[in-house]
């Protein structure tokens, strides 16, 4: 297999952009990525586009083609991929596989989502379709409901407190305030997190990620080709994906698909969690980030709350997590998030993250989850980048 480099990265702001279409957001992000890479539209040989909710806008199919024509990328294989909130992570995986294996020399991995501009019930019903709809969705299961139950269980089993969990929201909102692309630009206090509107007990509003629109695009090529464009390549060190097993005796305070994907990724790269300089993880809810600390090996099981409370995952901490603001602050256009995580890691590893720059990062980790059924997540992805 050949080494693969992320040569270019671009994204729109994330946030509610009800007047902008998938096409408009996609055009902006694709243009930025092409310009960042310094390549021409005709250099791109294939593309994968993560998208989940295109059907809401009417653009049920061919989302990638609709966008890429705007920047002159036509004629090549373009494929929409979907794995719920991990869709773009899987777009990245397919693109990575295609370049590393020698199928193509330069490709696009992207993700796009438009979630605002519809009534909330419509968007939430579509989101419920990322559960097992016939067996659980119709019974009313929702993601805030699932993660509310997980929070209770984590508190019961490990003594985690809502104050500890609130530190995740405070940190990510603070990080987001340093990221011009972040949906939320303001900080919040522990007290504000604890006493914001209740969504799904014990999770209040600031413990939950928002509804967002946006697009993120990266361009992948081989290390050999990359030498023609940059002296400072960011290389893919690992890419591992799993799905759930949906067993009835699963412990909902941990996600086995994350644990397995992380182990595979660490093995591929020949490193351990202690070697990771920074991570973008799937903080759809504050408790999720706490779980991921543990499942990714940043602390031992049950200590996630302590890690957050101690500030170890702040930008200046031992293992900075979600320097971008994460899903909680940067926003979560579900089909775009996986590639947006890569965009943040690239910016950080290049040392161009401005006010939120992590000090001298060497290895970045991106972690994403998609869908949930039968007490298990349907897909997990862990990607490692290095400079």
- Point out which residues bind its own copies (CB under 8 A): 1, 21, 23, 52-55, 57-62, 65-66, 69, 74-84, 90, 93-94, 97-98, 100-103, 125-130, 132-134, 137-138, 241-246, 257, 260, 370-371, 373-374, 378-379
- Return d(Cα 102, Cα 50) in angstroms, integer: 22
248 as an active site residue: the answer is no
CB closer to its own copies, 166 vs 334:
334
E strand or H helix that includes residue 95:
helix 87-100
| Residue 6: alpha-carbon gap to chain centroid | 16
Instruction: Scan for tokens 């097993």, then name that residue.
Output: 245
Tell me whether residue 79 or residue 252 sits nearer to its own copies (CB atom). Answer: 79
- Please enumerate in sequence order all residues whose Cβ is within 8 A of that of 248, keeping only pairs 6 or more positions apart, or say none: 374, 375
| Minimum gap (Å) between residue 94 Cβ and its own copies | 6
Residue reference for tokens 């969705």: 137
Catalytic member of 154, 167, 292, 332: 332
Close Cβ partners of 279 (under 8 Å, ≥ 6 residues apart): 296, 298, 319, 320, 321, 322, 364, 365, 366, 367
Q: Provide, rounded to whole angstroms, the least separation between the CB of residue 108 and its own copies.
A: 12
d(CA 226, CA 54): 33
**Active-site residue identified among 49, 85, 284, 299:** 85
Residue 361 C-beta: closest distance to its own copies, Å: 27
- Residues contacting residue 370 through CB under 8 Å, at least 6 positions apart: 83, 84, 85, 86, 87, 89, 90, 130, 377, 378, 379, 380, 381
Nearer to its own copies by Cβ, of 97 and 194: the residue is 97
Rounded least distance, CB 145 to its own copies, Å: 17
Nearer to its own copies, 238 or 371 (CB): 371
Q: What is the chain's alpha carbon radius of gyration, rounded to the nearest angstrom? A: 19
In whole angstroms, the minimum distance from the beta carbon of 146 to its own copies comes to 14
- 302 token code pair: 């049950």
SS3 call for 325: coil
> Which residue, 105 or 132, has its beta carbon nearer to its own copies?
132
Nearer to its own copies, 84 or 278 (CB): 84
Task: Report in angstroms how near the CB of residue 105 gets to its own copies at its nearest.
Answer: 14
Q: Are the CB atoms for 79 and 92 separated by under 8 Å?
A: no
Query: Is 85 annotated in the active site?
Result: yes
CB 132 within 8 A of CB 371: no
Which residues carry out catalysis? Answer: 85, 332
């Amino acid at each position: 297999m050949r080494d693969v480099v992320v040569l270019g990265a671009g994204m729109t702001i994330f946030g509610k952009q009800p007047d902008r279409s998938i096409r408009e957001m996609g055009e902006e992000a694709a243009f930025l990525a092409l310009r960042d890479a310094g390549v021409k539209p005709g250099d791109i040989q294939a593309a994968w586009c993560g998208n989940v909710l295109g059907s809401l806008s009417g653009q049920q199919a061919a989302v990638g083609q609709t966008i890429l024509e705007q920047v002159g990328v036509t004629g090549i294989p373009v494929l929409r991929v979907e794995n719920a909130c991990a869709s773009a992570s899987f777009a990245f995986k397919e693109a990575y596989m295609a370049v590393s294996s020698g199928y193509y020399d330069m490709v696009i991995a992207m993700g796009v989502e438009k979630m605002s501009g519809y009534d909330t019930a419509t968007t939430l019903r579509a989101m419920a379709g990322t559960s097992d709809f016939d067996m659980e969705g119709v019974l009313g299961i929702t993601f805030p409901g699932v993660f509310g139950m997980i929070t209770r269980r984590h508190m019961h089993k490990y003594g985690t407190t809502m104050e500890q969990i609130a530190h995740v929201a405070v940190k990510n909102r603070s990080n987001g305030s340093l990221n011009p692309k972040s949906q939320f630009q303001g900080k919040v206090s522990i007290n504000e997190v604890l006493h914001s509107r209740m969504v799904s007990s014990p999770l209040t509003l600031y413990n939950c990620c928002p509804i967002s629109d946006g697009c993120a695009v990266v361009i992948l090529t081989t290390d050999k080709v990359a030498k023609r464009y940059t002296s400072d390549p960011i290389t893919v060190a690992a890419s591992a994906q799993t799905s759930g097993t949906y067993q009835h005796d699963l412990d909902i305070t941990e996600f086995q698909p994350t644990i397995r994907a992380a182990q595979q990724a660490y093995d591929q790269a020949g490193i351990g969690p202690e070697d990771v300089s920074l991570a973008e993880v799937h903080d759809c809810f504050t408790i999720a980030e706490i779980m991921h600390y543990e499942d990714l090996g940043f602390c031992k099981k049950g200590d996630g709350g302590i890690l957050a409370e101690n500030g170890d995952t702040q930008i200046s901490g031992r293992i900075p997590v979600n320097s971008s603001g994460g899903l909680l602050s940067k926003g979560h256009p579900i089909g775009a998030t996986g590639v947006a995580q890569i965009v943040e890691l690239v910016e950080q590893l290049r040392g161009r993250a401005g006010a939120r720059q992590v000090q001298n990062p060497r290895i970045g980790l991106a972690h994403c989850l998609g869908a949930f059924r039968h007490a298990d997540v349907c897909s997990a992805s862990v990607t490692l980048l290095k400079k």
